Structure 1
Amino acid sequence: MVDVRSGRTGGPAPESANVTSLRQRNRALVLTHVLQSGRTSRGDLARECGLSLASATNIVGDLVAEGLVHETGSIASRGGRPITVVEPRPEGAYLIGADVGERGVAVELFDLKMTRVDREFRGGRDDETPETIAHDLDDALEALRERNPAAWPALAGVGLGLPGVVETAADGSQTLYAQSLGWPPVAVGDLIHFDGPVSAENGAKTQAMAELWFGAARGVEHALVALLGRGVGLGIIADGRLQHGSMSTAAEWGHTKIERYGQVCRCGNRGCVEAYVGADAILNAWRATGASFEGSGWGALGSLLDAVDKGDPAATGVLDDVIHSLGVALGSLVNLTNPQRVVIGGWVGVRLMEQHAARIADATKANALTRAGEQLEFVASTFGGDTVAVGAAIMPLETLVRDARPRPGDVPKSA
C-alpha cells in the first residue's frame, strides 16, 4: 500500500518542493481510496482523506484528466443536490500480475478495477529452471497481448510473485535467490523480456499485499498472512505496512525451525516449518504410511482430506500432525508479533481452511500465550488461488498511484 505516513528527514525543503510533495501525497490518498472502495463520492473522499471538499474535487478532476477515474452517475442526497459517484475507470490502465510457481506460471491481466480480464498458464513441468520459467513467462505475455491488443498501450507494468527471496539493489535491479529450488542467483531481468516496468517480490509478500489492499487484511494494523503451498511463506503487516527487513528477507517463516535435528528441508537445513507443513512434506508423510495416490498437487491433497473424512486412521494421523506443527509454528509468530488477525492462504492453506479452520485456530492458540491467543481471529484468504497474482499486479498499481501520468494536452517542460 502506498505509504503516505512516513516523514522526511533532514532540513526544510523549499516551499515549492513541499507543495509538490503535498499534492502528490493527497493524490495518492484519493486515488488509493477510489481504487479500494470501488465506488465513492467527493464528500466521502474529503472525509476519508482528511481534505477539504474543494481539494478533493480538484484532485478528482486531475484524476479524471489522467483517465484513471470517471463519474458514473449520481445518487440522491438528503435534501440537497444529487451526489456524483466516482469510480475507477476500468480501461484507464491495465496491470499484469504473475504467480511464478515451482511448476509453472499463471499470468493474469487486470483492469483498473482489479477485475481479471484474461489469464494464461504455462509450464507444469516437474523440473522447472530459470530458463524454462523465462520461456513460459514470455509465451504467456505474448498470448495475452495477442488476445488483448487494446489493453497493451494502457499497460502500466508487470509484477512478478517469485518463489524465493527478491533483493533490490540501489540501482533498482532485482535478484531472485531461490535456495530451496537449488537455483543460482537469478537476475529478474533474465526471467522476463518485457518492454516496460517490471517489479518482483516474494510470492508470500505479494499475497499479503493483495490482502492488505483489497482483502482480509485491509484496515487491519497488525496481521499475519500465511502462504501454504509447496513452499511456505509469510507476510507480516505491522502498523498497516508490509514488513520487508533490511534486504527484503524478512518473514522467511518457512525456514524457521520448529524441531532440532528434525526433518530435512529443501533448503538443506533440518527442522524447518516447510519440512512439516509444505505440500511435499504432507504428501510424503502420507505416502510413508503405505497410502497410494496420484499426483502431488491439489488433487492429491484432496485425496488425503477425503480419506480423513472417511475415517482413514493413517490419513487422520497425518492431518493431526500437520495441524499440530502448523499450530506450533503460528503460535510462536503470535507471541512474536501480537497480530489482530491471521490470514491463511496458498492452495494448501485454502484446502485446510475449508474444513479445519477451527482446529488450526485452536492449535495456534494452544501454542501461544493465553492473552495473545484471545485477541486473535482467523480467516481464509480472500482471493483463493489467485492471491499471489493479484498481489503481484498491485506492484505496478502502486507505481501508478505514486506517480502522476501526463494528461492529454500537457506540454513537457523544457530543460
Structure 2
Amino acid sequence: MTQLINNDLLGTQNQSLESGLKSDYTALGEKLARSDINIEAILQKAKAFSIAVPSWGVGTGGTRFARFPGQGEPRNIYEKLDDCSVIQQLSQATPAVSLHIPWDRPSDPNELRQYADQYGLMFDAMNSNTFQDQANQENSYKYGSLTHTSQAVRDQAIAHNIDVVELGQKLGSKALTIWVGDGSNFPGQQHFKNSFAQYIDSIKQIYATLPNDWNMLLEHKIFEPAFYSTVIQDWGSSYLAAKETGERCLSLVDLGHHAPNVNIEMIVSRLAQFGKLGGFHFNDSKYGDDDLDSGSINPYQLFLVFNELTDIQLENPSYSPFYMLDQSHNVTDPIESLMYSAAEVQRAYVKSLLVDRKALAHYQQTNDPMMAQATLKQAYNLDVEPILQMARFQSNGAIDPIACYRESGYRQQCAQARPVDPNKTGSGII
C-alpha cells in the first residue's frame, strides 16, 4: 500500500511515546475495571470506528467576504486523495472519502478508483450540486433547482442527481446525499406548498432510479443561501419528504444546520425511532452554520449525540449510519483539522460506550434527574485519550498524528509541488 508519510519517521515518533502510552493505558484500564468495564473491549470498538472525510475539506475554506488560499492546496481530485491518504495513514479512522460532483468529476472513474485503491481508500456517499450553476449549464438555479417553478430546471437537476448515482456506482459508493439551497429571500416570493410538493416529486424520480443497495440521504438546513424561507429547513420537512419517498430514503443531520440551542440529540432519537436516521455531517458552530472543527465549541453536545446513537445501536446492532466530517478550514491546515476532528468524534463515541446504561435507565424510571445527568457526566468527564492513542498505535497509525505530520514536512513538500495560482481570486466562499 502506498503511504506518503515515511514509516521510519512514524515508527520513531511512536517509539518515543510508546512507554508513556502503555503506562497511561494500564492506569485507565484499572480505573475502568473498578466499574466492570473491560478496556480491551472498548479498544476494539474504537479501532472499528470510522468516519468519512469530505474531498472539499482538504482545501482552504472561506467566507462570503474573502478566502485566503493555503500553501500546497490540492488542485484536483487526485491531489485531494493524496491528502486524504495522509489523514487516514496517521489517524486510522478515516478510510473513506466523500466526493462532490461536479467539483470532483474524474475523466476516468476506473482510474480514480484504482488511484484510491493504492491508498486503501474507499468512496463514501456521493454529493450532488444543484446549489450553483455549472459551466455550460442550460438552465440557471438562481431561483431553485429540484423545487423550481420551471419543469425544465427541475428535470435538469433530477438528471444531474441520476448522473451522480451512476458515477458513484463505478466508484463503489452506496449512497447519494442531496442538499439544495432552494428557498426564498422575500415574503410572497415562493409558494410554500407548491415548492415542497415539487421537491418531493423530484426526489421520487431520483429515488426510482436508485440501485437496490443504495440509500438516499436528505440534508436539511435552516437558512442560507435563502434567508426568508428554505424548502427543506428542518428535520420535520426532511422526515416528511423521506417518508413520502421510500424505505431507503433517509434524513441526514448536519450539526451546524439548526437554529441556535436546538436539541440535536433529541432530533437524533426522533428520527431513529421512526427508522429515518440515515447519517451525519459532523462539525461545530457558535452562531450559525459556521462549519467549525468538530468538538471545538460544544464537545458535550457531541457526546450527547453519541449517547443517543449508542443507545440506538444497543437496540439494533445492525444499525450503521453514514458518518462524515463537513467543515470549512479557514485559518488552520485542513489536514490537521480533519485529523483532530476525526479523533474528537471518535472520542465522543468512546465516551458514550462508558455510560452505565443500567444505572441511567433506573434514574430515568425513578425520576431522579440529578443522578441521571451525573451518570452521563461520569462517562463524559473520563479522559479516554489513552484508548484513542492505543487504537491508532495498534492500527499502525500515529500516537500523536499532528506532531508526526508536522515533523514529516508534508505541507512544505506540497507547497513546492503545488504552487499557488497567482491569477486565482481569493474572494468568496468555496
- Alignment TM-score, normalising by the size of structure 1: 0.30
Hey, which of these two has a bigger chunk of strand by percent?
1
Does 1 or 2 have the higher relative contact order (CA < 8 Å, sep 6+)?
2
What's the TM-score, normalizing by structure 2?
Answer: 0.30
